[in-house]
């Protein structure tokens, strides 16, 4: 039986819509038809701006955007608009992309109780549901924690638990894992799988990195420019997806001309004759750092050197200190012992943090870029497609990432630091990012990035290292790094 049936749905945003990123730029959805079988998992994919989110929001009436709607949506054989508000809230749940914005309360148990409180559940029922949910999601041990102290992955899991507490029939997920690191994404997906296997909940997941979702997907739907291009078994649709969103060719680095990156091999000791051609632009010697007087050292006796014209990839698990290292290099934090020295007295350093919102000040993209001296005629190509009068916050996660890249590189800095640069990027955008990084290194800039994205690092980085126990392992040329390592390999 079909739990959701969409017939010939078309939608155009009204011009005075709050999310005025692309006002009246034609219909967002064009005569779209889709049926979702009860108990199945449907994955929507497609490039940014293809209408995935719009479709999900239209299925959740309370938060449906304003605009001209044509066509019908049926839920359990009933017109969606005929459902009462309580039924809507109870039967259809929606999880958004960014866990930070969705949390309402200050305690984990309270977050899970939130929906139940809203629907006026009796005390004993609420208690029972919370108990069930805490044990199903294995959150019992953190039930008393403050939500502020949780990691991004835990937050998203708590939010999922909070939605499941009202036992919805249909679960909509809007890029649920795009803001999570691989480890957290894996836990999240395995929870989704358990939900599907044990409770048979129907899910519609919008996501552009679909590799990890394929094993649990029953039906794959490819969208582009508001239309469904292909739908069906994942195996059948996958070739079309690959055509529209080709993954990064990891061998791109080997096609670079041999003479291009002619910097010397960096050696940690610097004792050999390696550093004869050019001096390191940045060197760290025996650096120590901790956040609190009484806490543990995050960075422990770290020494390393970075050459101009090279791209460095730093891996390592969460909380290994990668972000702290970038903070130290950028000068946002000061080392408590040891020394960080630069070849130029005051090198210009740019930093793309994990949360790129931190970089935006202006009300519009135009005024924001003007602050760093970028005039419209000098905008990089990849920014040109954004409407310059909209707010930076109206962009999708990946678009924001690119805008931030344009902003930090406007002053043509000597050292560019990137923290998880591919977060939220669809493959086409990741390619833009890769080309930009290659251009910087060609111009003699140093790029240092911390990332979980092995494929991207393999294509972009010249040298790689793992951060562990507060130190960096010796940087190795990327090919060698990926060939020798057992776990970090492609």
Question: Tokens standing for 197?
Answer: 């296997």
Binding window for another protein (CB under 8 A); candidates: 85-93, 299-307, 426-434, 472-480: 85-93
210 touches 199 (CB < 8 A): no
Cβ–Cβ < 8 Å for 447, 312: yes
Judged by CB under 8 A, which stretch of 121-129, 189-197, 309-317, 339-347 contacts another protein? 121-129
Print the SS3 string covering 190-201: HHHHHHHHHHCC
Q: How far is the CB of 230 from another protein (least distance, A)?
A: 29
The phi-psi region of residue 167 (left if phi > 0; otherwise alpha if psi is between -120 and 50; otherwise beta) is left
| Binding flag, residue 282, another protein (CB under 8 A) | no
Among positions 98, 212, 275, 428, the unique one binding another protein when judged by CB under 8 A: 98
Q: With contacts defined by CB under 8 A, how many residues of the chain interact with another protein? A: 65
Choice between 344 and 469, CB closer to another protein: 344
User: Residue 146's beta-bridge partner residues?
Assistant: 107
Cα separation of 176 and 156, whole Å?
Answer: 8
Q: Let me know: does 222 contact 240? Beta carbons within 8 Å.
A: yes
- Choose between 116 and 210: whose C-beta lies nearer to another protein: 116
Tokens 């990035």 identify what position? 449
Q: Choose which of 60, 285, 290, 366 interacts with another protein (CB under 8 A).
A: 60
Residues 440, 448 contacting (CB under 8 angstroms): no
- Which of left, alpha, beta for 166 (phi over 0: left; psi -120 to 50: alpha)? alpha
**Token reading at 234:** 């994942």
Say how far apart CA 365 and CA 372 lie, in whole Å: 12
**Residue ranges in 335-354 that form contacts with another protein under rule CB under 8 A:** 349-351, 353
Of positions 9, 21, 50, 89, contacts another protein by CB under 8 A: 89
Choose, by CB under 8 A, the member of 21, 113, 216, 228 that binds another protein: 113
Residue closer to another protein, measured from CB, 215 or 373: 373
**Is the CB of residue 73 less than 8 Å from the CB of residue 59?**
yes
Nearer to another protein, 129 or 471 (CB): 129
> Which is nearest to 350 in space by CA: 419, 403, 282, 415?
415
319 near another protein (CB under 8 A): no
How far apart (Å, rounded) are the C-alpha atoms in residues 132 and 134? 6
Interface mask toward another protein for 129-158; x: CB under 8 A:
-----------------xxx----------
Using CB under 8 A as the criterion, what x/- string covers residues 16-55 for binding another protein? --x-------------------------------------
Structure tokens at 130: 């919370």
For residues 65 and 55, what is the distance between their CA atoms, to the nearest angstrom?
10
| From 70-78, 101-109, 189-197, 477-485, span contacting another protein (CB under 8 A) | 101-109
The residue range among 46-54, 123-131, 314-322, 441-449 that interacts with another protein, by the rule CB under 8 A, is: 123-131
Least Å distance between CB 486 and another protein? Answer: 36
Alpha carbons 204 and 93: distance in angstroms, whole number = 10
Minimum distance between the CB of residue 330 and another protein, rounded to whole angstroms? 6
Given 109, 386, 440, 475, the residue binding another protein (CB under 8 A): 109
CA-based nearest residue to 58, from 46, 45, 49, 67? 67
Q: Which is nearer to another protein, 113 or 241 (CB)?
A: 113
Residues 6+ apart with CB under 8 A from 67: 11, 12, 13, 14, 17, 28
Residue from 371, 439, 468, 489 in contact with another protein (CB under 8 A) = 371
- Contact mark string toward another protein, 209..248, x via CB under 8 A: ----------------------------------------
Can you list the alpha helix ranges (DSSP code H) found in 121-274? 123-136, 152-164, 182-194, 234-244
Quote the least distance from Cβ 78 to another protein, whole Å.
Answer: 18
Residues near another protein, by CB under 8 A: 18, 60, 62-63, 85-86, 88-90, 93-94, 96, 98, 100-107, 109-110, 113-123, 126-127, 146-148, 159, 162-163, 166, 330-332, 349-351, 353, 355, 357-363, 371-372, 391, 393, 407-408, 411
């Amino acid at each position: 039986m079909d739990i959701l049936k969409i017939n010939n749905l078309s939608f155009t945003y009204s011009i005075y819509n709050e999310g005025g990123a692309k006002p009246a730029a034609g219909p967002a959805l064009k005569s779209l038809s889709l049926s979702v079988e009860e108990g199945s998992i449907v994955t929507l994919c497609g490039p940014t701006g293809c209408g995935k989110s719009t479709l999900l929001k239209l299925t959740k009436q309370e938060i449906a955007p304003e605009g001209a709607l044509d066509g019908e949506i049926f839920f359990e054989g009933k017109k969606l608009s005929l459902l009462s508000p309580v039924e809507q809230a109870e039967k259809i749940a929606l999880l958004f992309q960014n866990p930070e914005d969705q949390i309402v309360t200050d305690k984990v148990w309270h977050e899970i109780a939130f929906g139940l409180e809203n629907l006026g559940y009796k005390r004993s029922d609420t208690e029972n549901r919370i108990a069930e949910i805490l044990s199903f999601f294995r959150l019992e041990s953190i039930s008393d924690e403050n939500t502020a102290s949780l990691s991004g992955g835990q937050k998203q899991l708590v939010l999922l638990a909070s939605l499941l507490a009202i036992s919805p029939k249909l679960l909509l997920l809007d890029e649920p894992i795009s803001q999570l690191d691989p480890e957290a994404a894996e836990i999240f997906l395995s929870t989704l799988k358990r939900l599907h296997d044990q409770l048979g909940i129907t899910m519609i997941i919008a996501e552009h990195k679909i590799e990890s979702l394929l094993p649990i997907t029953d039906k794959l739907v490819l969208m582009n420019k508001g239309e469904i291009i292909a739908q069906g078994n994942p195996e059948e649709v996958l070739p079309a997806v690959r055509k529209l969103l080709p993954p990064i060719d990891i061998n791109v680095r080997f096609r670079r001309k041999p003479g291009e990156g002619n910097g010397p091999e960096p050696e940690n000791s610097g004792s050999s004759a390696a550093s004869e051609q050019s001096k390191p632009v940045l060197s760290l010697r025996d650096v120590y750092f901790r956040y609190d007087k009484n806490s543990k050292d995050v960075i422990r006796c770290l020494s390393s050197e970075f050459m101009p014209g090279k791209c460095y990839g730093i891996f390592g698990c969460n909380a290994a200190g990668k972000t702290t290292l970038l903070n130290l290099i950028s000068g946002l934090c000061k080392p408590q012992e040891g020394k960080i020295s630069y070849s130029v007295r005051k090198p210009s350093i740019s930093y793309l943090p994990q949360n790129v919102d931190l970089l935006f000040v202006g009300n519009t993209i135009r005024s924001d870029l003007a602050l760093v001296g970028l005039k419209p005629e000098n905008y990089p190509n990849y920014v040109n497609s954004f409407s310059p009068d909209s707010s930076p916050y109206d962009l999708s996660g990946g678009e924001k990432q690119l805008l931030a890249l344009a902003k930090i590189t406007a002053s043509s800095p000597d050292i560019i630091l990137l923290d998880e640069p591919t977060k939220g990027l669809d493959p086409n955008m990741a390619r833009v990012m890769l080309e930009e990084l290659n251009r910087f290194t060609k111009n003699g800039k140093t790029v240092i990035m911390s990332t979980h994205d092995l494929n991207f690092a393999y294509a972009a980085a010249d040298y790689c290292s793992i951060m562990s126990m507060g130190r960096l392992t010796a940087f190795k040329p990327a090919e060698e790094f990926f060939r020798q390592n057992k776990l970090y390999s492609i």
